[in-house]
Structure formats: structure tokens, C-alpha cells
Structure 1
Amino acid sequence: MKRPLLSAIALASLVICAPARADEDDKVPYWATIDTDLANLRVGPGDSYRIDWVYRRLHLPVKVVRREGPWRLIEDPDGTQGWMRDLLLSRQRGGIVKGKELVAMRVKPDDSAPIAWRIEPGVVGVMPEDCKQSWCLFDVNGHKGFVHETQLWGTGAP
């Protein structure tokens, strides 16, 4: 008798704890990227709300600041906020080059390392791993190198 009761209690505790772990993944704010070539930003969380902006920039980094059902209130690199469906977003980290001058993308995470590429402000790329010691591995359409974290929007704590 005790064994089935213990099994039932263990199963119930797993079911109760599972949603808590899922909720931790959905805490806001968090970084995301636009995961499609065309994404509408709406003034409210629903298809009936007016489209305020249309994004045509795959992997553009955004900050998710609020959740409401399948809708996410996002902020783009220019500070524009609006609502986007969760299906249009990815948890893959991305960045966009800040500033007004060319930025060096280096072969190693070191200021004295050779420059692999020079990238313009506004260039978008993905970051396949977390930044380490203020350097981010940055991938722009297969051209990979290291960029200083301060030169990218989409790094650090959201």
C-alpha cells in the first residue's frame, strides 16, 4: 500500500513543479530576435490592433518587456515599443552594431588580435554564446569574429 501512495505523491510533485520551471524561462525582461523576414508590430496585444511598424530585418535584436498570452511587448534598438506575436520571435541572442564608425571584428577576444572584418553601424548578427570578459562572438551571415560588448546593442542584462 505504501509504495503506490509514495509513487502517486512523487508524480504529483513533479506535475506541480514542472510549471514553475517553465515560468522561469518566461520571466521578463529578456532578449530575443525577430525570427522572420517580415514581422508586424502592433499598438496592442491582438490581431485587431492597428499595425504600427513592419520589420523586415531577420535576427534584429529586441527586448521583451512584457507578456500577455501569445503576445509580447517588445522594445527595438531605437526604443520603439509595441506588441508582436511570440511566434515571430526567437530566444536566439542577437546584436546590432552601435555608434557611427566602423567596428573591428577580431579573430580572438583581444584588442591586439588581428582584425577579421570591419562592420558598419546597424549591422545585425547573432551571438551563438554568452559574451565573456566583455567580448562577444558575433556571427554576421557566417562571418564570425569577436566584438567588444560595448559596441553592440542586445548584450548584458536586458
Structure 2
Amino acid sequence: MTFFRRILCRAGLALALATAAAAAAEERGPVTNLPLPRYVSLKASEANVRRGPSLTHRIDWVFVRRNLPLRITAEHGHWRRVQDRDGAGGWVHYSLLSGVRTVVVEEERVALRARPEEGAPAIAELEAGVIARLGACRPDWCRLTAGGYRGWARKAGLWGVAPDELRD
């Protein structure tokens, strides 16, 4: 193979890899055309989690926590494949999901602060497992509402929001 042919092959391979990486970064659901993965919350107080995207598939378990944040990883018709913070998941009917965003506190205690800065006064402390409604997000902080309190928490202690996600 000549020198120029090798360079063209390498350039073609590099372009193909870059295109594949860009496509993966911008993956869209075939049904909704919304980004995958994306976060939603559980609208219902109970939701059957199935092995496949239909009523004929076996129920593996039931989510029983309203407002639980979930990550959608796939779509098929009226069904969404979801995962919880532990990675457990399956297929749930879309009518049981909501676009209202929530997060769950992952650290033992997370301070809810008056402003998005470490030295700001703490309004409340949220314990691990608390579910909060998600508001605006900056690079390291998100505005939350939980238990009648509203304030800012460090994004690193939360599940249900992407590390690079910004929200108004």
C-alpha cells in the first residue's frame, strides 16, 4: 500500500470513529425523538417493571415510590426501558412516567443552601434517600425543593441529573 493510500485509510477511519462518537452522544429515541438516555420520574405510586415492552412479558418487580427518578435508556412503542439509581430496571408503560424532574439524595447528608456556594447558610439537611424536585442547575449546583424547603445542593450528591447538565 502506498504512503498516501495509508494516510487516506487512516483519515477515513478517524472520520468514521468521530462520526460514530457524535452519533452516540446525540442518540435520540425512535418514538419520541428525545435524547437517550434521559431522566424522568415515576408518576404513579406503583408501576410494574416488565422483562420486555408489552403486557405479555413477565413482571420482574414493582416500583412503589411515587416521584422516583428514573433514567430512560430505550423506547419501543408505548414502552420505555428504565433504570433506577441501583441500575435495576426493565420496561414500564409510558403513561406511568412523568417529565417532572426529581432527584434522590445519594450521600448520607446533603446541605440545602440559600445560595449555590459552599459558604452560604444551610437551610436544611437532606438525608440519603430523600426525593426532591429538581429546579435550575448550574455546573456544580442544583436548586431543589423538598419537605417544604427550597435551596441549592451540590450536584455530586444527587442521582437523577447528569453531571454536565445545565437547567434554567
Task: Give the TM-score category using the shorter length.
Answer: 0.7 to 0.9
TM-score normalized with structure 2 length? 0.74
Q: Say whether residues 1:28 and 2:28 are aligned partners.
A: no
SS in structure 2 at match of 1:127: strand
Q: For 1:76-95, what aligned pairs fall within 5 Å after superposition?
A: 76-95=84-103
- Structure 1 moving runs of 4+ over 6 Å: none
Q: Is residue 118 of structure 2 the alignment partner of residue 111 of structure 1?
A: yes
In structure 1, the partner of 2:160 is 154
- Counterpart of 1:120? 127
For the aligned residue pairs, the C-alpha RMSD in angstroms reads 1.7
* Map 1:62-77 → 2, pairs under 5 A: 62-77=70-85
Question: Quick one: which amino acid aligns to residue 36 of structure 1?
Answer: A
- For structure 2, the residue ranges without an aligned partner over 5 or more in a row are 1-30
CA distance in 1: counterparts of 2:56 and 2:134, whole angstroms: 34
In 1, Cα distance between the equivalents of 2:47 and 2:132? Answer: 17
Aligned mates of 1:104, 1:27 — CA distance in 2: 31
Instruction: State percent identity of aligned pairs.
Output: 34
Alignment size in residue pairs: 134
Partner of 1:61: 69
Unaligned runs of 5+ in 1: 1-21
- Whose RCO is larger (CA < 8 A, sep 6+)? 1
